[in-house]
Structure 1
């Protein structure tokens, strides 16, 4: 391949990539289409079931596509391609973790959650336990995970726009993040889950088509010889280690432990992500819930195979140095590659898809946070279940605005972070605070309210505390506070400590609890979760 490719790759594409007006124009076309879908969906959003669960009117195929749209975030598209381009084999481990995680979701939680719950994760966790304390704990955990995930998406928005518009100033990037946040608030405020779902379906379709075209194009340039692409990546990087394990996580025993911690978080985190779990409530039957996950696995699996091609293709055609020096750093690999392949038009399309990715995911996260507060805290705890559907929707929309503002402020603070890495932290919090309680609630009859509270609060507090006192926050070049070293925990991911601890706390809290739970409720939950009998009664509100 060729000196021509290498010469093109080393030109200074980092200062101005494509035509900014063309990039924005294509993005505005997408915004117009999705706004039309959201406004149209809003006409049928009349009840809380419509607002939070889309009226449970989506088929398994539609919901599976929307799940893929919800799951394939800016971390997947921008962060993982960049991680593979820079770190090679170690970067692809993110793709493996995110994909394998779906098997846990399919085998353990998808159908049972749909059968047992109504709108939120807290509906399931509080089904046979004491309502008030468990709902408060589950809502707190949901809000924490949603905010962490939103940070990653907002950071991705800032990185993408800084590249496309040549905006290097913090103020300019902050303004872009604010605009994305306002759009997100509008989507969810007006359209609810129906509008959000159609945005996710449109986005997933565009994303899969976009990465598919780029992958085939790249392979064609190398004669459909993937080995030739890998060889070119080694030549351009000047580092054969890019194909070997350990470039990012193999430097020391500590970094290997950090990788194990990351792997635990990625594989176990999906089954505890509230915005993914909430999608299972939008289908009418358990059969459609299973069909949703199968469709999601197929679409997500195809996407992650494409990230392997795009990542090593970016390494071959651009090289790590060009990518690292571009505005947005690692997150700019996919847009830079699109510009290298197809010029301004392809870049504009891929940029619009990346924006769509961010908008769709943040909309899904926002409606999840809204449901958690309005339904669980305000409706069930404060109003003790006596809130009518109009009042719950008003509370939900007010929460949308508050969460949107918090996401904007957090995204501004998270600029410059690798978005795949930030999402890995959200997965760690979800796996620590949510998954053990979900597993115990569904499968262990002796699980008690004390066990649930110890598990959720213990996992949440431990994971966040370890993150706060880790190199993520202090002392490293990519930390939030690089000039101050207060890192007491040496790993960048808390999962290896916080996940087992949460399981232990759930068990310990249950076996030391003197209170026993209602056996009739336990029996009802078991029958409903396994068979779906009686689940339809939970759909009314």
Structure 2
């Protein structure tokens, strides 16, 4: 019997036996039909809207033609990644309250984005984060550093999406083991590249809107279905979950994962700092603020996004404890993808083959849409910031710039496929938290300093970006996440599967507690030690423009 077949039957199996029996979790023909239908419909939409891609502004920012409501739904689609649906539901199902902390952190982070960056960035920039950072600093080195940071953050975020793809298609199609997951990750990468090459930001945005609606509706249906099984009594559901969990009542209290020792408590502080501050530094989220015609619509975008994302994260609480009760930890750990399979397994438990096919297809669509958004952001950053403004000194024509962006998208897709294969057994929410730490370390300090501190200099920006980026990546590389970590079963829980390989010296699983303050410190230190003359007039112009929107419409017109 397969791992998932055994899981469905209630038999305990080893996590390594990851073969899917089609007759125990539904019919692959039904699953692939539902998935193929979504891909075909979205590809048709992408091809149709791509006919309007005539300028760089069309490819990068969708022509700035989206309303605040449309962009808010698309932002929620960008933000509600595989981590939100698969990773958090799985984390709650296995760890209870500590898993829900991811939802809290992701949601609170939007308040930081709304209050500090959304409107100000829209008023100051044109396409990318580097437009803001280079507004009053030296163009060449700042744009190069910002592009490097954008590519790094996008890679870590892409790394977090790919593992869900392998486990999901194991659930969908009955493909077997490591080879099947690897092929699946490659297919996701190829589809992602197609979406970006054909549709640009406009096509990607429509895919995000469709996916966000399907995801929220699907999660809502499952949530009410789970509550219905508990008599629409949340207390009863939690009581049933406690009874089903081997950890008992501990799953309702903090500490199952992050309260074991003083070190895990510090790790939780580090994780919280990364989650709360990371959103305001995510390049693919920041780039969405440029797809609306005004700063007012940028604010409306974030308000819409907060409502949608907030409702969804409430759904994850019910889904996580519902999976704990109706599926069980043993079945989840036995399935391909482990924790990432909790939501699809719950769907199968509730509605059988049809609901599993729909939810798995929606989750797959989630991955496709998010990786497409990440890819277009990273490719736009390289083409606009490095190729046009650094290599061509701003003289590149829009056609050649878009061509470079498309070539970059292909390269990023290939790199993401390779990285995703290595990280496919990791919990997706956990991997996204690493991406948030890198974003908060490399991007947020320079954004805030650029917007609010007159004394900020080019040296300070470079020290902050490169220092925050390097420290975050180095600390991750030498943490237990990469080597030497084992899970409760004694199997490797790190990216390197051989538990005898241990080169970690940094004890925390998330580097945010060290790398984020270090980036702020380096930004300040680099600025106060710099002899670069301060351009007070340029800062005053930036301050007025960011706070009032004066000049933003002119930049929008110039972009066309």
Of the candidates 390, 405, 422, which is equivalent to residue 414 of structure 2? 405
State the 1:517 CA deviation.
2.9
Counterpart of 1:292 in structure 2 is 301
Counterpart of 2:383 in structure 1 is 374
For 1:29 and 1:169, the matched residues in 2 are separated by 25
TM-score under structure 2 length normalisation? 0.94
For 2:324 and 2:178, the matched residues in 1 are separated by 28
Size of the aligned set, in residue pairs, is 535
State the 1:327 CA deviation.
1.2
- Are the counterparts in 1 of residues 8 and 331 from structure 2 also a CA contact under 8 Å? no
Matches within 5 A, 1:241-256: 241-256=250-265
State the 1:165 CA deviation.
2.7
Of the candidates 204, 208, 224, which is equivalent to residue 200 of structure 1? 208
Matches within 5 A, 1:150-189: 150-189=158-197
Counterpart of 2:427 in structure 1 is 418
For 2:337 and 2:193, the matched residues in 1 are separated by 25
For 2:514 and 2:410, the matched residues in 1 are separated by 34
Deviation digits for residues 215-256 of structure 1 (CA, Å, limit 9, x no counterpart)? 011111111111111111111113221111100111100000
Of the candidates 355, 358, 375, which is equivalent to residue 346 of structure 1? 355
For 2:497 and 2:509, the matched residues in 1 are separated by 14
Q: Which runs of 5+ in 1 are unaligned?
A: 1-6
Deviation digits for residues 408-441 of structure 1 (CA, Å, limit 9, x no counterpart)? 1111111101010000000000000000000100
For 2:27 and 2:349, the matched residues in 1 are separated by 13
Matched residue SS, 2:394: coil
1:467 aligns with 2:476: yes
Counterpart of 1:40 in structure 2 is 48
For 1:320 and 1:99, the matched residues in 2 are separated by 26
- Are the counterparts in 1 of residues 93 and 324 from structure 2 also a CA contact under 8 Å? yes
- Are the counterparts in 2 of residues 163 and 328 from structure 1 also a CA contact under 8 Å? no
For 2:242 and 2:183, the matched residues in 1 are separated by 38
For 2:143 and 2:196, the matched residues in 1 are separated by 23
Shift of the 222–33 alpha-carbon distance from structure 1 to 2, 3 Å rule, reads same
Counterpart of 2:10 in structure 1 is 10
Counterpart of 1:509 in structure 2 is 526
Matches within 5 A, 1:358-507: 358-476=367-485, 477-483=492-498, 484-507=501-524
For 2:497 and 2:32, the matched residues in 1 are separated by 33
State the 1:163 CA deviation.
2.5
State the 1:176 CA deviation.
0.7
Matches within 5 A, 1:200-349: 200-238=208-246, 239-349=248-358
- Are the counterparts in 1 of residues 163 and 337 from structure 2 also a CA contact under 8 Å? no
Of the candidates 70, 73, 77, which is equivalent to residue 81 of structure 2? 73
Q: Structure 1 residues 155-164 or 25-34, which shifts more? A: 155-164
- Are the counterparts in 1 of residues 47 and 203 from structure 2 also a CA contact under 8 Å? yes
Deviation digits for residues 429-473 of structure 1 (CA, Å, limit 9, x no counterpart)? 000000000010011111111110000000000000000000111
Deviation digits for residues 69-100 of structure 1 (CA, Å, limit 9, x no counterpart)? 00000000000000000000000000000000
Deviation digits for residues 477-497 of structure 1 (CA, Å, limit 9, x no counterpart)? 211114201111011100000
For 2:176 and 2:261, the matched residues in 1 are separated by 35
TM-score under structure 1 length normalisation? 0.97
State the 1:12 CA deviation.
8.0
- RMSD value over aligned CA atoms? 1.3
State the 1:518 CA deviation.
2.0
For 2:418 and 2:339, the matched residues in 1 are separated by 22
State the 1:320 CA deviation.
1.0
Matched residue SS, 1:248: coil
Of the candidates 541, 546, 552, which is equivalent to residue 529 of structure 1? 546
Counterpart of 1:4 in structure 2 is none
Counterpart of 2:139 in structure 1 is 131
Deviation digits for residues 188-219 of structure 1 (CA, Å, limit 9, x no counterpart)? 00100000000000000000000000001111
Matched residue SS, 2:496: coil
